C-alpha cells in the first residue's frame, strides 16, 4: 500500500485538466462554482433513483465518482436519503412497480428541489414505451427540470446537465 500511496504523491493526478482537454468541462467547472455558490453555498446533494432502468445509466452515474470525472470537486455529491437531497436524478422508463416509490421519494425531499431525468428511458420511456408494465416518462409522474439524453448518457453529459440545471430559471 505504501508504494501505491507514494506513487500517487509523485504522479500527476488523473483528474482531467479542464482547461485543455475538455472545454465543456472547464466551462462547467467555472459555472458551477459561481452558480452553486450563489444558490447552495458550493454544494449540491444528489439522490439517484433507478425507476426501472436496465442499470446502464447507473454504471455511468457511478463513473462520475472516478478519478477522471471526480464530481465532488464541483461540490456535487451523492447522498443516501432523499431528505438530504437537492436534486433527484431519475433513470429508467418508470415502471408501474416503481411509480409509487418514485413519487414517495420525491415527496420526501425538502424544498427547494430539482429533478433531472437522465437517459432516454427516463425522458420518454425509450424503447420500453407502450409496455403494459411501464407508467411513462418521469415528467408524467413528477415535475422534471432537466433532461440528459443518451443510452446511457456519458458521464460528461451528466455533469454538464447538472450545471445547466444550476443556470436554469427554475426556483421551487
Partner 1 sequence: MTDLAALKGQPVEGHHPWPRLLVNTDTWQDAINGLAEDRWTLSGLWGDDGAVHMALMAAADLRVLSLPCPDGDFPSIGRLHPPAIRLERTISDLYGLVPRGAADTRPWLDHGSWGLRHPLGTPQGGVAPQTYPFLSAEGEGIHQIPVGPVHAGIIEPGHFRFHANGETIVRLEARFGYTHKGVEGLMQGADLDRGSKLAGRVSGDSTVAYALAFARATEAALNVDAPDRAQWLRALMAEMERLANHLGDIGAICNDASFSLMLAHCAVLRERVLRAANICFGHRLMRDCVVPGGVVRDLDKASVSILQALVNEIRTRFPGLVALYDSTTSLQDRTVATGILKAGLAQKFGAGGYVGRASGRDFDARRALAYPPYDRLSFEVPVFQEGDVNGRVWVRIREVEQSLSLIDQILAGLPDGPIHAPVGAQAGEGMAVVEGFRGDVLAWLRLDEDGHIERCHLRDPSWFQWPLLEAAIEGNIVADFPLCNKSFNCSYSGCDL
Q: Which of 25, 28, 32, 61 binds partner 1 (CB under 8 A)?
A: 61
Q: What is the H or E stretch that residue 90 is in?
A: strand 87-91
Between 32 and 51, name the residue whose CB sits nearer to partner 1. Answer: 51
Q: Does 101 bind partner 1 (CB under 8 A)?
A: yes
Q: Which of 44, 78, 109, 148 binds partner 1 (CB under 8 A)?
A: 78
CA-based nearest residue to 90, from 67, 58, 63: 58
DSSP three-state, residue 146: strand
Dihedral sign for Cα atoms in the order 121, 54, 160, 49: positive
Between 31 and 99, name the residue whose CB sits nearer to partner 1. Answer: 99
Helix axes 155-167, 23-40, angle to 10 degrees: 40
Q: Which of 31, 42, 77, 99 binds partner 1 (CB under 8 A)?
A: 99
* CB of 90 vs partner 1, minimal distance in Å: 11
State the alpha helices, DSSP H only, in the chain: 2-10, 23-40, 56-63, 96-108, 120-124, 155-167
* CB of 150 vs partner 1, minimal distance in Å: 10
Site string for partner 1, 112-151 (x = CB under 8 A): --------------xxx-xxxxx----------------x
How many other CB atoms are there within 10 angstroms of residue 154's CB atom? 13
Residues near partner 1 (CB under 8 A) = 1, 3-5, 14, 48-63, 65-68, 78, 80-82, 92-93, 95-101, 105, 126-128, 130-134, 151-152, 154
Amino acid at each position: 500500500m505504501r508504494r501505491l500511496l507514494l506513487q500517487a504523491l509523485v504522479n500527476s493526478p488523473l483528474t482531467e485538466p479542464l482547461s485543455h482537454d475538455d472545454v465543456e468541462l472547464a466551462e462547467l467547472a467555472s459555472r458551477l462554482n459561481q452558480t452553486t455558490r450563489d444558490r447552495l453555498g458550493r454544494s449540491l446533494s444528489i439522490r439517484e433513483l433507478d425507476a426501472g432502468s436496465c442499470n446502464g445509466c447507473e454504471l455511468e452515474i457511478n463513473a462520475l465518482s472516478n478519478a477522471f470525472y471526480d464530481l465532488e470537486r464541483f461540490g456535487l455529491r451523492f447522498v443516501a436519503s432523499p431528505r438530504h437531497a437537492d436534486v433527484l436524478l431519475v433513470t429508467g422508463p418508470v415502471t408501474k412497480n416503481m411509480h409509487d416509490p418514485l413519487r414517495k421519494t420525491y415527496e420526501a425531499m425538502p424544498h427547494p428541489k430539482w429533478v433531472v431525468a437522465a437517459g432516454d428511458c427516463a425522458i420518454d420511456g425509450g424503447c420500453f414505451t407502450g409496455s403494459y408494465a411501464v407508467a411513462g416518462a418521469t415528467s408524467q409522474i413528477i415535475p422534471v427540470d432537466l433532461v440528459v439524453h443518451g443510452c446511457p448518457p456519458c458521464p460528461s453529459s451528466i455533469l454538464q446537465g447538472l450545471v445547466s440545471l444550476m443556470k436554469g430559471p427554475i426556483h421551487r
